[in-house]
Structure 1
Amino acid sequence: MTNPADRDYLHDLDWFKAEASSGSGGCLEVAFTPDGRVALRDNEDLGNPPFVVSEHVWACFLNGAANGEFNVQKR
C-alpha cells in the first residue's frame, strides 16, 4: 500500500473529470490509486493536496449522489 503521508505520487496519477465539466472552469477531478483508493482534487486549486478516500467510501458517495441525497434543493 502506498503511504498516505507521501502524497507526491498523487500528481502522477491519471486524473479525469466529468464530461459535464468541460469548458466550464472549475471542476472536481478523480483518480484511482494503485492500492484501490480514490483521490479527488479541485482543478482550480492544485496547490491543495488531493483528498483520498477508500473504495467503500467512494461507492457510498456515488450511491448517495445517484439517489439525489446531495442535491442543493434537498437542503
Structure 2
Amino acid sequence: MLSEHYELIETLGTNFAIAFLFVLIGLAIQDVLKKGNVPTFGRWFVWLVLFLGCAGFIAKGIIQAFWEAGL
C-alpha cells in the first residue's frame, strides 16, 4: 500500500515541511521586530511581504493542481 501512495505522501510531506518553514520564518521575524524596536509602519510592511510570499506559494499550489487535473 505504501508504494501505491508514495507520490502523494511525498507531496504532502513537502508541503507540510514548507509550511513549517514559513511558520519558523514568521517566528524569527517577529522576534527580530520586537528586539529591534521597529515602528508600526515597518512592522505592517514586513508582515505584508511575508503574507504575499505565503499567498504566492499557496496560489502556485492551487494553479498546479488545476493544471495537472486538466481543468
The verdict on a shared fold, with TM-score over 0.5 as the criterion, is no
Instruction: Kindly indicate whether structure 1 or structure 2 has the higher relative contact order, using CA contacts under 8 Å at least 6 residues apart.
Output: 2
Higher strand proportion, which one?
Answer: 1
